Amino acid sequence: MPGSLTVGKKAPAFSLPNQDGKTVKLSDFKGRWVVLYFYPKDNTPGCTTEACDFTAGLKDFEELDAVVLGCSADSPESHQKFIAKYKLKITLLSDSEHDVMKAYGAWGEKNLYGKTVVGIIRSTVIIDPEGKVAYVYPKVRSAGHAEAVREQLAALRAAAA
């Protein structure tokens, strides 16, 4: 995965606006697990599936002392509409400059309908309570992903206990 992500190393710090325009920083979650997932666009089929699945499983993530953050280049206003339309309960972050995506390897070349384009790479990072990268999903298929992340998180927590 591009970027500087190595399991066991410090996760890149970030400070981004959420759907309400409030600044969210990685340091806000010190002592908790963080599931940070990157997705291309609000209101598109795969992204909607992923967001709805994370919302449906949110109670399970909370029981594992984890927060779920979705991140795309969409504006906070777009995120608000997306959340309202699908009754999402997760926090969505806006990275319009792609700086955080680049730091996490979620911005780069990808294959779209047979063409190489530069854009957001659907990926997920699990960050441990000390702010270190615990697990990386460099390329993600949206269907079933939230459940796979929950299972991985449960295994990571059990190993750390």
Structure tokens at 117: 């384009």
65 closest CA partner among 33, 38, 92: 33
Structure tokens at 150: 């929950």
Task: Label residue 58 left, alpha or beta by phi (over 0 means left) and psi (-120 to 50 means alpha).
Answer: alpha
Which alpha helices (DSSP H) does the chain contain, by range?
A: 45-56, 58-63, 76-86, 99-103, 145-160
User: Largest Cα–Cα distance in the chain?
Assistant: 45
**H or E segment to which residue 154 belongs:** helix 145-160
Which of 26, 35, 47, 121 is flagged as catalytic?
Answer: 47
Structure tokens at 159: 């190993």
- Assess whether 71 carries a catalytic annotation: no
Q: Cα-flanking dihedrals φ and ψ of residue 114, to 5°?
A: 85, -5
Just list the catalytic residues. Answer: 47
